[in-house]
Structure 1
Amino acid sequence: MPDEDGYFGEDIATDYDESSAAMFRPEAVDPVVDVLAGLAGAGPALEFGVGTGRIALPLAARGTPVHGIELSRAMADRLRAKPGGDAVDVTIGDFATTTAPGGPFAVVYLVFNTINNLTTQNAQVDCFRNAAAQLRPGGTLVIEVGVPDLRRLPPGQTAVPFRVDAEGWAFDTYDVATQAMSSHYVTIDDGKAEHWSIPFRYVWPAELDLMARLAGLRLRDRWEGWSRAPFTGESTGHVSVWEKPAA
């Protein structure tokens, strides 16, 4: 069960960077920072769900003032302990409703499926409204999120595996009636299995566009990824950029 840190408490924060090591490699980080730095210009930028600073720290190192909102104190503590951590101010709170100091912001962004951590449609709508309220005119909201992998579900099946190896396995489960999903991780250590899961709510690109419209934002760009490749019907994820109209 989650504690005051949500599903990212001390037990997860302790080795979060190691468990997501591939996402911390330069080839995964640099394209993200390139896009965000270009959108932010002189800044400032605001990250919803800043975590341990995977993107915020290198973005700040580029000279963009960065603020973060993070529910988990344990994750925020890891960020602050890193070199350059004092350059990123973090406000503890729910990013669907929490306001950060230092605004209005040139760009607000959520990466690595963070929008799915809000497990109701109402909370996701609130997130868009919260972002729009903290953007300056002409500013942008950027979201990186996967496209629901429902085409891999035959009738009667609810689970899709995405990792199987000698150290364990991982799979997603879907409820297509409610758009609820959970990611499950089973690790095997010395012959013993340990299970951990986290709930999400998957969301479609068109649904995100409607949330943006309700918040007064308009779609500017949608790419398959941070390289700005075109988004197609075969894309497994997207990076979408919505703009707040200039005053």
Structure 2
Amino acid sequence: MENQGPESYGEHNADVYDEWHAALDPTDAVDRLAELIEDGPPGPVLELAVGTGRVTIPLAARGVDLRGIDASVAMVERMRAKPGGERIPVTIGDMADVDPEGDDRFAMVFVVFSTLFFLLTQEEQVRCFTNAARRLVPGGRFVLECPMPDVARYRHDQNLEVHQVGLDRVRLVAVRHDPVEQRFDGHHVLITNNGIRLAPASMRYAWPSELDLMARLAGLERRHRWGGWRREPFTAEGTYVTVYEKPAAPVP
């Protein structure tokens, strides 16, 4: 899809995002992130692509000094309309730049769900790793939640799934796969008696080994890779969590 920018997903999907992802319980993510924060060096925490605050708000409610970045004004407005969301400082900008207002260094930078893959080129993803590492204190962590790419589901590099069928609505997901660019371009399609609603999304997926190389180029070391927020064993299916760490400064 043409004319995709960092803000495109949020601007097109903000009004339906919480409804369509209502089944995503953030409790496990918040518990594990809070544990990693407590176990790590002191300092503020930065979330990339805060969205509507699904993880941001409950984590901040635990007393975490939390900041955020998001490219979409519409998504941030949704977050700020929720209890507690208005108290979280958010910079509007491209998460690849990892450039919040101020000169703070962070004890943790994290990005959840599949959001890292909304950076649509390898160059942007590498830049995100590099800038995250630059803003971390020694011993700080860069935490990613990513889906394992499931390219086998794309017959002839396309896929159509039915996500909801009701008396007054049908919701479909239609996706094209470009294996050369490692890219998915698709739409959530909502069909109701009032018409058809399209919600576009594009992603550039990366394999775990590719992410590890990006981390290494940025000077980060992998500490953990789990098959989920409950520290499940890592497998080739589903969503996984990786914790990278900035090496502590050597003792003079």
Check whether TM > 0.5.
yes
Q: Hey, what does 2:33 align to over in structure 1? A: 36
Matched, 1:18 2:19: yes
Corresponding letter in the other structure for 1:14: D
Q: Residue deviations 1:166-217, cap 9 Å, x none?
A: 4221133211111011232111110733333211101100000000000000
The 2-side partners of 1:144 and 1:14 are apart by 23
SS in structure 1 of the partner of residue 23 of structure 2: helix
1:150-169, Cα deviation, whole Å (9 max, x unpaired):
12234x34325363534221
Letter in 2 for 1:136: V
Task: Report the counterpart of residue 131 of structure 1 in structure 2.
Answer: 132
| SS of corresponding position for 1:8 | helix
State whether structure 2 residue 202 is matched by structure 1 residue 199.
yes
Using the size of structure 1 for normalisation, the TM-score is 0.90
Question: Counterpart of 1:150?
Answer: 151
Deviates more, 1:36-45 or 1:84-93: 36-45
**Alpha-carbon displacement from aligned partner over 1:62-113 (angstroms, at most 9, x marks no partner):** 1111000010111111212221123311011001114123621111101010
Unaligned runs of 5+ in 1: none
Give the distance between the partners of 1:164 and 1:175, measured in 2 at CA. Answer: 26
Percent identity between matched residues is 44
Deviation track 1:120-164 (CA, whole Å, cap 9, x = no partner) reads 00000000011111111001011111111112234x343253635
Per the alignment, residue 177 of structure 1 pairs with 180
- CA gap of 1:124–1:162, structure 2 versus 1, over 3 A, is farther
Q: Using the alignment, how far apart are the partners of 2:122 and 2:209 within structure 1?
A: 13
Corresponding residue number in structure 2 for 1:140: 141
Who is 1:86 aligned against?
A: 86
**3-state SS, counterpart of residue 169 of structure 1:** strand
| Residues 1:60 and 2:60 aligned together | yes
When structure 1 is superposed on structure 2, of 131-140 and 194-203 the one drifting more is: 194-203
From 232, 238, 241, the equivalent of 2:240 is: 238
Partner Cα distance (1:77, 1:196) in 2: 18
Contact 1:117/1:201 (CA < 8 Å) preserved in 2? Answer: yes
Structure 2 unaligned segments of length 5 or more: list them. none
Secondary structure of the 2:96 match is: coil
Q: Is the 8 A contact 1:44 1:65 kept in 2?
A: yes
What are the residue-to-residue correspondences of 1:112-131 with 2, within 5 Å? 112-131=113-132
* Contact 1:97/1:127 (<8 A) preserved: yes
Which residue is equivalent to 1:220?
Answer: 223
Closer/same/farther in 2, CA of residues 162 and 226 from structure 1, 3 Å limit: farther
Provide TM-score, normalisation by structure 2: 0.88
| Correspondent of 2:214 among 200, 208, 211 | 211
| Whole-angstrom CA distance in 2 between matches of 1:189 and 1:137 | 52
The 3-state SS of whatever aligns with 1:86 is helix
Of 160, 168, 171 in structure 2, the residue corresponding to residue 168 of structure 1 is 171
Q: Residues of 2 paired with 1:223 and 1:236: CA distance?
A: 11
Q: Helix, strand or coil for the counterpart of 1:15?
A: helix
Contact 2:154–2:177 (8 Å) recurs in 1? no
CA RMSD, 1 decimal: 1.9
Residue 114 of structure 1 and its aligned partner are, at CA, apart by: 0.6
Question: What SS class does the counterpart of residue 95 from structure 2 fall into?
Answer: coil
